[in-house]
Amino acid sequence: MGTEDSAESRITELSERIRQHDLLYYRDDAPGITDADYDQLKQELLELEAAHPELVRPDSPTQTVGADPSTLFAPVQHRVPMMSLDNAFDRDELEAWADRARRRLATGDLGDLMCELKYDGLAVSLRYENGVLTQAATRGNGRVGEDITANILALEYKKKKSVPHRLPGGSPGVLEVRGEVYMPLDAFADLNKQQDEEEKPRYANPRNTAAGSLRQKDPSITATRGLSIWCYQIGEIQGGPTLETHNDTLEYLRSLNLPVNPKSKSVSTIDAAWKFIEQCEADRHNLPYEIDGAVIKIDRLDFQRELGATSRAPRWAIAYKLPPEERTTKLLDIHVSIGSKGKATPFAVLEPAFVGGSTVEMATLHNEDQVKAKDVRPGDTVVVRKAGDVIPEVLGPVLADRPDGLPVWEFPEVCPCPHQQPLARQEGDAAHYCRFPRCPEQLRGWIEHFAARNALDIEHLGEQRVRLFIDLGFISDIGDIYSLPYDRIRELEGFGELSVANLATAIEASKQQSLARLLVGLNIRHLGDTTCELLADAFGSLDRIMGASVEELAEVDGIGPIIAESVYEFFLSEANQEIIQKLPKELLEASSSDAEAEVEALPQTLEGMTIVVTGGVEGYTRDGVGAAIKARGGKAPGSVSSKTTALVVGENPGASKLEKAEKLGIPILDEAQFQRLIESGELP
DNA sequence: ACACCTCGAGTTCT
DNA sequence: CTCGAGGTGT
């Protein structure tokens, strides 16, 4: 009894003292105690609480309210949606935004503008109730994010620029703050130094590493990553002061010891805002953290309310995206890769260059004409960038740096595989092809294609293993996949009992796949997912497709003479017929997918509509969205055209589709509107 | 014959 | 994402 009492009073005392020191540290910026002493107090409290869990109070300074590990990454509904921002890529677009806003405002005047940096990190929401951090969540899709309270609490909160667990006295009943969690460049450098010392792979860039760090299941790992945060917005506030401008908001957040970036600037003209942007661009690499642009906001909050928001972004703010980074590097050589159907694609082999957040060593050059048009030659210095922020692209040579007499690159005459068979380009074609039927490169491509997700979907049979099995002579066509010598595989290095079993199970499961997927796996020229589905639906069985004439094949809507001929030719080949004989009976008897029954069961709400999706939609995989649209009678092509009924904009949308849809005046839907559309077929 | 949709294929890196 | 090319409608 006595120990319980003394423990309780000691806990109270420790909590009080720690809270006092927190206040001194945060509010007054004047630590009243050394770090070591502070840590000792904290340690004692932690130990006491561990010994007497029933005495742990929710507002204890060690707490971890809502930080129950089981809630980590649980969905969190944002009470006020976390919207994304519209983008401007040049001065004209910035002016256009300002004009639109001016026209919407009764006064016709924007008032002051707040210019802020756009930090390259992860948007998060922090919820304080009565001054205590109760919940932290990722942005997610803007409406629903993931609970990361435990990870946020684990950040070294005594360090400035990190997240305080408690706010100073007099803070509002409810305060939901938005900010960007980022990894400072020095923390990133330290982490990589550590990786080097431990001979582990380096992390590619601070943004992804910050994201990965916040996604740790073990918060103590997150704690070591040196993450920081910049707060820049209030989502919800109850019982706080009256704020009139965004500038007030920033000042207020600062007064609560929340880290607010000092580089924000208030200006009164678009001209000055543009100057700020230019300054950002110039300073970009002198900052201790990464930015990817600037944000311009209308300062007065009453103006912000008057302007409101579109379905996806507020009208009172615009993000200026810095142009994708371009770098020069050496073009070491141009090699050719052979695709599963024999297509020879030239690609640039580059001196590794760090561009747009990752190191680039290769980039496709598409075909001979593209190489000629760009006139890039091995030995050139070339300009490289990331197209759409992801795919490396060679823009062209820096002619001034070209060595004298550098020879023009010629397309190789033979296949890079050991058989060195000729590569030929047919009249009217852009591509070269290797036509050697037993080309090992093509075989590898075919096997990979057969096992791929949209075909037979065989897990655990990836590039490495395909290569290995071909080299060992285990596989010389797709039929061999079903008679792999497991006894010998078991003896290979890197194959345990479990991995062999996994592989065997995955191969066994693939026998249940549909006819359409089998067709995809057969790797027939001109046939892809869509056309295979068409054929499967029209004929119902492989037998009937094999027995069909060119004319019968071409009768299918969407199949023309060229595809029909290609299919007919494929099945005419004796070699192919033999391979098909080797496939398991279940597969050969596969019928057009069972999904058909379900398709009919769904209400055909999207009949006659063509819905294009950009970005990821909550609750669906990328392919899944298309399937959901098609299952309801709609079409889901990959690009926007004048026939498009609506464009659905999800997470991380592509700029090109959005732009095109805007130009064509096609309705743009957010995820909520898309949900409604799917359910009822109603366009907003 | 032509324009405009679509589709397929190859591709990068984490 | 980008390029090339087949299919379809005018």
Domain boundary among A371, A402, A424: A424
Per-residue model confidence (pLDDT) at position A652: 64
Residue, of A406 and A36, whose pLDDT is higher: A406
Measured in angstroms, what separates residue A204's CA from nucleotide B14's C1'? Answer: 8
Domain annotation covers residue A371? yes
Q: Which of A161-175, A528-542, A626-640 has the lowest mean pLDDT?
A: A626-640
Tokens of A684: 């907003």
Give the C-alpha separation, A160 to A411, whole Å: 58
* Nearest in space to A293 (alpha carbons), one of A278, A315, A312, A304: A278
Tell me, yes or no, whether A396 and A478 share the same domain: no
Per-residue model confidence (pLDDT) at position A605: 82
What CA–CA distances, in Å, run from A57 to A21, A362, A599?
Answer: 19, 56, 54
Tell me, yes or no, whether A141 and A156 share the same domain: yes
What letter represents residue A421's amino acid? Q
Active centre residues of A (catalytic):
118
A351 touches strand B (CB under 7 A): no
Give the C-alpha separation, A151 to A162, whole Å: 12
Measured in angstroms, what separates residue A381's CA from nucleotide B4's C1'? Answer: 38
Give the DSSP per-residue string, A417-477.
STT-PBEEE-TT-SSEEE--TT-HHHHHHHHHHHHSTTTT--TT--HHHHHHHHHTTS-SS
Tell me, yes or no, whether A317 and A334 share the same domain: no
Tell me, yes or no, whether A87 and A134 share the same domain: yes
Domain boundary among A286, A321, A356: A321
Return residues with beta carbons within 7 A of strand C: A 366-367, 369-370, 387-388, 390-391, 393, 428-431, 526, 557-564, 614, 638-639, 654-657
Give the C-alpha separation, A222 to A155, whole Å: 7
Residue position matching structure tokens 């990965």: A212
Tell me, yes or no, whether A105 and A187 share the same domain: yes
Tell me, yes or no, whether A125 and A162 share the same domain: yes
Residue, of A632 and A653, whose pLDDT is higher: A632
Measured in angstroms, what separates residue A563's CA from nucleotide C6's C1'? Answer: 8
CA dihedral A229, A230, A235, A238 (to 10 degrees): 90
Percent with pLDDT over 90 in chain A: 39
Mean pLDDT of the A254-283 span? 92
- How sure is the predictor about A283, in pLDDT bands with cuts at 50, 70 and 90? confident
CA atoms within 13 A on the CB side of A572: 9
Measured in angstroms, what separates residue A390's CA from nucleotide B9's C1'? Answer: 18
CA atoms within 13 A on the CB side of A363: 29
* Nearest in space to A142 (alpha carbons), one of A389, A370, A310: A310
A482-517 pLDDT tens trace: 999 999 999 888 888 888 998 999 999 999 999 999
Domain boundary among A282, A302, A321: A321
Per-residue model confidence (pLDDT) at position A29: 40
The model's pTM is 0.57
**CB contact at 8 A, A355 and A385:** yes
Strand order in the sheet with A646-649: A611-614, A646-649, A668-669
Kindly report the number of other CB atoms within 10 A of residue A532's CB atom: 24
Q: Which of residues 72-131 of A touch strand B (CB under 7 A)?
A: none
Give the C-alpha separation, A357 to A78, whole Å: 30
Give the C-alpha separation, A117 to A664, whole Å: 32
Measured in angstroms, what separates residue A555's CA from nucleotide C10's C1'? Answer: 21
SS3 track for A489-544:
HHCCCCCCHHHHHHHHHHHHHHCCCCHHHHHHHCCCCCCCHHHHHHHHHHHCEHHH
Model confidence at A650: pLDDT above 80: no
Question: Residue A548 belongs to a domain with what CATH number?
Answer: 1.10.150.20
Tell me, yes or no, whether A204 and A314 share the same domain: yes
Model confidence at A26: pLDDT above 90: no
Per-residue model confidence (pLDDT) at position A348: 93
Closest CA-bearing residue to C1' of C4: A430
Give the C-alpha separation, A132 to A130, whole Å: 6
**CB contact at 8 A, A114 and A266:** yes
Tell me, yes or no, whether A296 and A147 share the same domain: yes
Measured in angstroms, what separates residue A460's CA from nucleotide C2's C1'? Answer: 30
Domain annotation covers residue A520? yes
Give the C-alpha separation, A172 to A130, whole Å: 6
Tell me, yes or no, whether A554 and A568 share the same domain: yes
Domain annotation covers residue A429? no
Kindly report the number of other CB atoms within 10 A of residue A327's CB atom: 15
Domain annotation covers residue A83? yes
Domain annotation covers residue A305? yes
Residue, of A378 and A322, whose pLDDT is higher: A378
Question: Residue A368 belongs to a domain with what CATH number?
Answer: 2.40.50.140
A620-641 pLDDT tens trace: 777 777 778 877 878 888 788 8
Give the C-alpha separation, A644 to A330, whole Å: 42
Q: Which of residues 428-457 of A touch strand B (CB under 7 A)?
A: 445
Mean pLDDT of the A462-471 span? 88
Mean pLDDT of the A143-155 span? 86
A94-116 pLDDT tens trace: 998 999 999 999 999 999 999 99
Domain annotation covers residue A644? yes
A349 touches strand B (CB under 7 A): no
Domain annotation covers residue A67? no
- How sure is the predictor about A57, in pLDDT bands with cuts at 50, 70 and 90? low
Please name the nucleotide lying closest to A558, CA to C1'.
C7
Q: How many domains does chain A have?
A: 6
Which residues span the domain enclosing A417?
Answer: 326-424
Residue, of A455 and A24, whose pLDDT is higher: A455
Q: Which of A433-442, A525-534, A605-614 has the lowest mean pLDDT?
A: A605-614
Closest CA-bearing residue to C1' of C2: A366
Tell me, yes or no, whether A562 and A658 share the same domain: no
Domain annotation covers residue A70? no
Tell me, yes or no, whether A84 and A150 share the same domain: yes
Closest CA-bearing residue to C1' of B4: A641
Please name the nucleotide lying closest to A556, CA to C1'.
C7
Tell me, yes or no, whether A487 and A557 share the same domain: no
Q: What value does the mean pLDDT of chain A take?
A: 84
What CA–CA distances, in Å, run from A560 to A98, A526, A546, A563?
Answer: 50, 11, 17, 6
